[in-house]
Amino acid sequence: MDLLARVKSTIDRHRLLPDGGAVVVAVSGGADSVALLDLLARLAPEQGWRLTVATFDHGWRPASAREAVAVAALAAAWGLPWRGGRADRPARDEAGARAQRHAFLTAVADSCGPHTRIALGHSAEDRVETLLLNLLRGSGLTGLGALAPADGALVRPLLAYRRAELRAWCTEHGLPFCDDPTNHDRRYARNRVRLDVLPAMANVRPGAVAAAARTARVCGEERAALARYGELLLAQRLVTPPAGAFLDGLDALVLDLCDWRELPTGERWLVLRAALRRVRGSLAHVDLGLVERLDALAAGPPDAGVLGGRGGDELRIARWGGRLVFLAGAPGPAWGPVALPARGEVAVPAARLRVVVGPAAAGLPLSTRVRGHLALAVRSRRAGDRLRPVGRGGSRSVKALLGEHDVPSLVRERVPVVVCGEQVVWLPGGPPDEAFVPAAADEGVDLGVVLDVC
């Protein structure tokens, strides 16, 4: 069976590309991606695929612009549309370049319509290199099952095939391709693995690279099965927090940690990986060290600290009583004061909430009654804020009250403070300040907070 028939069999077996679907083919100009384009273009008439060729120029080399033109000419020879992109500012490392490239490919796919797949030309060696890099940074099956044939919109039809076979296909069919000199630059970790480690493996044991590729494939299949099991375990632990937690309307996930330490370590890791995948959308760049730190946080004391939120990662995770909170998005800046009407409601987009004044507030979960005819405003918490909650017999700091009210540390800056001038009148979730309690029913006004996406 020749390469074309085997690739078709691979695509059918893994259901990588639906008949009649739109496909963006990522082509850099190298032998692997040129072979991918030629193979898919030969199969497209029979399968009904609508192909678009996409090339992203990272701007690292002067010759890359000429190579993009060559890819455009190859697409034209097949009668296929071509889309080119170039980095506004060259990335400083491989991870940054990959992020730029994927953002471009995703934009092209979005322009081709919903459910468009993005075909990448990764080969068996690419998979082994990724396996080894993940092994060096510390990984379980998630990293060892590197480069799955299908990962969301991304598909990799050539993972089972060696670079030499793909290069031979290009030579046999007279397809022009380029050799990127940066692939021989040992400053990049992947190149050191490619140029030094893979040949050393073959010297130690002939066929070692093919065996490692099989290992990645087996780990990938087992990873997929364990991921499904992890989703089942996660579903059993997801909880809906009360309104007083101030998580409504946010991209948050809350885990119940009941009997957490009694779970086998492997099951705890599966739950945490499933949670990370749910809030991040991917486990790319998630190593075993992060999972272990999360496990220690889950088993530790409440409010032990917050993981994440550094280095551009806006995912923050904190222990909250007997729960673990995953929150996507950076904490908002200070806001307000925003004046409240005598009756009606005010949206506060900065805190993603609404404040209601008047009878409509009476039935809200977060509501209270204060003296009427006050010039009220709402704002974020400030250092030094205090109030004397009615019935508590003393002054408390708002910071301390937020802890007493069981508000997760991740969202305490979101909790609004209702004020009259500089005096705190009410902290939602508790009673008002004793100086602002109405003496009679007809002297008061209802206040309420609605957690929304404004």
Q: What is the CATH number of the domain that holds 246?
A: 3.30.465
Q: In which region does residue 322 sit, left (phi positive, over 0), alpha (psi from -120 to 50) or beta (all else)?
A: alpha
At 454, the pLDDT band (50, 70, 90 cuts) reads low
* Each residue's pLDDT tens digit, 101-134: 999 999 999 999 999 999 999 999 999 998 998 8
- For residues 411 and 294, membership in a common domain is answered with no
Residue range 223-241: average pLDDT? 91
pLDDT at 285: 66
Nearest C-alpha neighbor of 67 from the set 52, 84, 80: 84
At 311, the pLDDT band (50, 70, 90 cuts) reads very low
d(CA 21, CA 47): 9
Identify whether the C-beta of residue 420 lies closer than 8 Å to the C-beta of residue 376. yes
pLDDT over 70 at 369, yes or no: yes
pLDDT over 90 at 372, yes or no: no
- For residues 145 and 25, membership in a common domain is answered with yes
Q: How far is CA 394 from its chain centroid? A: 45
pTM here is 0.68
pLDDT at 405: 81
Tokens of 101: 């490239």
The side-by-side arrangement of strands in the sheet containing 417-420 is 338-339, 376-379, 417-420, 423-426
User: Does residue 139 sit within a domain?
Assistant: yes
Residue 325, beta-bridge partner list: 254, 318
User: Does residue 431 sit within a domain?
Assistant: yes
Q: How many domains does the chain have?
A: 3
* Each residue's pLDDT tens digit, 149-171: 888 899 999 999 999 999 999 99
Nearest C-alpha neighbor of 161 from the set 396, 322, 3, 353: 3
Domain boundary among 300, 328, 356: 328
Domain boundary among 158, 193, 223: 223
At 182, the pLDDT band (50, 70, 90 cuts) reads confident
Q: How many helices (H) and strands (E) does the chain have?
A: 13, 20
pLDDT at 304: 62
pLDDT at 3: 93
* Each residue's pLDDT tens digit, 84-103: 988 888 777 777 788 889 99
Query: Is the model more confident about 17 or about 58?
Result: 17
Quote the crossing angle between the two packed helices 64-77 and 31-47, to the nearest 10°: 20
Sign of CA dihedral 426, 431, 432, 438: positive
- For residues 198 and 251, membership in a common domain is answered with no
The answer to which of 9-18, 42-51, 64-73, 267-276 has the lowest mean pLDDT is: 64-73
- For residues 130 and 34, membership in a common domain is answered with yes
User: Does residue 85 sit within a domain?
Assistant: yes
* Each residue's pLDDT tens digit, 405-438: 878 888 888 889 999 999 999 999 889 999 999 8
Nearest C-alpha neighbor of 446 from the set 357, 355, 344, 354: 357
- Residue-number span of the structural domain to which 184 is assigned: 3-223
Residue range 62-73: average pLDDT? 84
Query: Is the model more confident about 163 or about 315?
Result: 163
Domain boundary among 223, 253, 281: 223
User: Does residue 333 sit within a domain?
Assistant: no
Instruction: Please provide the average confidence, as pLDDT, over all residues in the chain.
Output: 87
At 312, the pLDDT band (50, 70, 90 cuts) reads very low
Query: Is the model more confident about 91 or about 197?
Result: 197
User: Does residue 281 sit within a domain?
Assistant: yes
Residue 447, beta-bridge partner list: 357, 368
- For residues 166 and 79, membership in a common domain is answered with yes
Tokens of 69: 């033109």
pLDDT at 248: 77
pLDDT at 188: 81
